[in-house]
Amino acid sequence: MNQPLHHPFPPGNYLNRELSLLAFNQRVMAQARDERTPLLERLRFLCIVSSNMDEMFEIRVGGLKEQIRADSHTLTTDGKTAQEVFRQVSVGAHALVEEQYQIFNQELLPRLADEGIRFIRRSVWNEAQRAWIRDYFVREMIPVLTPIGLDPSHPFPRVLNKSLNFAVELQGKDAFGRSSDAAIVQAPRMLPRVVPLPPELAECPYGFVFLSSILHEFVEELFSGMTALGCYQFRVTRNSDLFVDEEEATNLRTKLQGELTHRHFGNAVRLEVADNCSPGMANFLLSQFGLAEADLYRVQGPVNLVRLMQAPDDIDRPDLKFPPYAPGLPRGLDKGLNQNPDLFALIRQGDVLLHHPYQSFAPVINLLQQAAADPQVAAIKMTIYRTGADSVLMHSLIRAAQNGKEVTVVVELMARFDEEANIGWATRLEEVGVHVVYGVVGYKVHAKALLIVRREDGQLRRYAHLGTGNYHPRTARLYSDFGLMTANEEIGQDVSEVFKQLTGLGKARALRHLWQAPFTLQGNIVRHIQAEAEHARAGKKARIIAKMNALLEPETINALYEASKVGVQIDLIVRGVCALRPGVPGLSDNIRVRSIIGRFLEHHRVFYFFADGEEKLYLSSADWMERNFFRRIELAFPVLDPRLKKRVMQEGLRYYLADNQLAWEMSGEGRYTRKRALRAKPGNAQATLMAALGR
């Protein structure tokens, strides 16, 4: 039997990761309930909660169940076993899902109907609607549906992860005289989950019918001569973490391609059924998937709300969506990229800071396009974590290789849920002669770095782009991130050294400016926290502000506690999970934690230390988590230009600390309270940045 593993710090000092993740999704769901959020955006936020919960079950709950199956007694940082965490997560997740469908049915659907957007239940179909829907069923659905009767020659089918399925209770005999009391109908992914009705039939501008409603109504037509006693939609979520032993894999890409096919059929972790599902059928399904009652989620509505994510885009009602936003451009580029300015000349004049999505991602695209075409460019090196299935950046790299450049791309094949796209790009890049490297065994390459080597005046000069977010043009319109373009020779040398580590062999050399995981990033952060504590003990001003997505690493949290005890003023802006307890007397009196949830997903990581007046400011690809510090290749890079440092302080930190509309403040128990602008001047960080940086 495994012996309990204990962390060196008291478990009472920490909050649970999974419960913190549930609290984050509660904050996202509050956007769906908020009357200030445009109506169709409220529906989108509700879908985002479903997507987030899917990933939580696929990865976090899947991991808990693996630990329980292995009878692991390893304790979490907050001192809980996997069994204890699962029980608490189950209670919280059931409550969250119940609230989610209450918002959907009682708040959003009636409000949408008032606006002429109706999701029409089959109980209210009129004759004309029913005739059209039946015709759709016959034309579009029956040819691609494969009903499977359950009998000795037709065992329970393999059910894909998160696919929509129907369990049908039957009575009678079929054409061969066989009797079966149950069948399974799997809905192909090609079928839309929401079917639009012609406006004249819908009797409103936008009328939709759920695919599940159509199949419920006409399911008997799939079983001629038999009676359908019940038809119940269901959806199973499976453990989707990939188990690839990189040490044993002689070809990681081939091994990963084989493993991806198994992701759809991992161990089941959750069963969602319609609320009308009979107890007998629910128990039958649970037994088929090896699940218990705690894994069953009964929902009042479609079991796959995430598939409604597309609906707001299909409805032409701009008055019910966020107003259109046109990102701006930084100084020097604000005359428009259509004039095709020489970006290399601009960067030589001084560092260029891009703040997405408030400022356009186009300069990054144009920089790579210019590099691909420029005869003076000798080499391009780039890391790829997520870039999308169709990326203009990848096409530029392909053109660069075709133009004779030395192109090296470090592709992270293990980027969760982007593995297939990255494998595809790796193959296409190799076909044109790009040097494709899969990073370092045992470490995900999460750093965002681009290096361009250009011959100027007989010498080679380096240009670098470093970012907090992915090289993904679509998410750059949705995620808040910083990107820095620089021709600083020392930073260029650091970036060059990092690429040399990733593609070759040898000892890691000291870097002049960059902090790199797994070597120096966590140690430097802890040392800078401790330095602030020393300044506080000496009676000097001491201040830390840090913005990130997650805060979990125990040693870093403990350093923050020790700094707080001696008077360091610490503000933490943590979008998602946070294990630190703020405001606890004698432990964290001087630490405040807030979370910002709004139109854009807060994604940049910004670390500020007063440093006895030197005011050190770093941007990073890394959250303060054990995986980022010790199991990933990550970078933190300084903002050296005083003008740009001032911008980052204002745009990346101060606006967020002044926010009293999107901000949630955290208590020492892990509960969040939304800030409200009562007497104070209203502050909305995202709205302020849109007004300041947009066109």
- CA angle 596/51/29 to nearest 5° reads 45
Identify the sign of the CA torsion 172, 176, 179, 182.
negative
DSSP per residue, 389-415: SS-HHHHHHHHHHHTT-EEEEEE-TT-
Tokens representing 111 are 């409000």
Cβ burial 268-289 (10 Å sphere, 16+ → b, else e): bbbbbbbeebeeebbebbbebb
- The rounded radius of gyration (Å) of the Cα atoms in the chain is 27
Please name every residue paired with 515 in a beta bridge, in sequence order, or none if there are none. 636
Please name every residue paired with 663 in a beta bridge, in sequence order, or none if there are none. 596
If we measure between CA atoms, which residue out of 551, 676, 660 comes closest to residue 21?
A: 551
Tokens representing 593 are 């934690």
Q: Where are the beta strands (DSSP E) in 374-474?
A: 377-384, 406-411, 435-437, 444-445, 448-456, 459-467
If we measure between CA atoms, which residue out of 134, 273, 275, 132 comes closest to residue 198?
A: 132
Q: Where are the beta strands (DSSP E) in 239-316?
A: 268-274, 296-299
For residue 203, give Cα distances in angstroms to 132, 310, 679.
13, 22, 46
Tokens representing 483 are 């990107």
Contact in structure between 320 and 687 (CB atoms under 8 Å): no
Contact in structure between 65 and 56 (CB atoms under 8 Å): no
For residue 515, give Cα distances in angstroms to 70, 173, 509, 649.
37, 71, 12, 20
Phi, psi of 379 (to 5 degrees): -150, 150
DSSP per residue, 613-633: GT-EEEEES--BSHHHHHSEE
Q: Which residues contact 245 (CB under 8 A, 6 or more apart)?
A: none
The span from the CA of 398 to the CA of 401, in Å, is 5
Helix (H, G, I), strand (E, B) or coil at 569: strand
If we measure between CA atoms, which residue out of 304, 370, 224, 266 comes closest to residue 53?
A: 304
Q: Which of 356, 446, 465, 604 is catalytic?
A: 446
Q: Which residues contact 684 (CB under 8 A, 6 or more apart)?
A: 598, 659, 661, 662
The span from the CA of 136 to the CA of 333, in Å, is 52
154 a catalytic residue: no
Phi, psi of 622 (to 5 degrees): -110, 135
The two counts, helices (H) then strands (E), for the chain are 22, 27
- CA angle 421/425/426 to nearest 5° reads 115
Please name every residue paired with 465 in a beta bridge, in sequence order, or none if there are none. 450, 485
The span from the CA of 217 to the CA of 200, in Å, is 22
Q: Which residues are catalytic?
A: 446
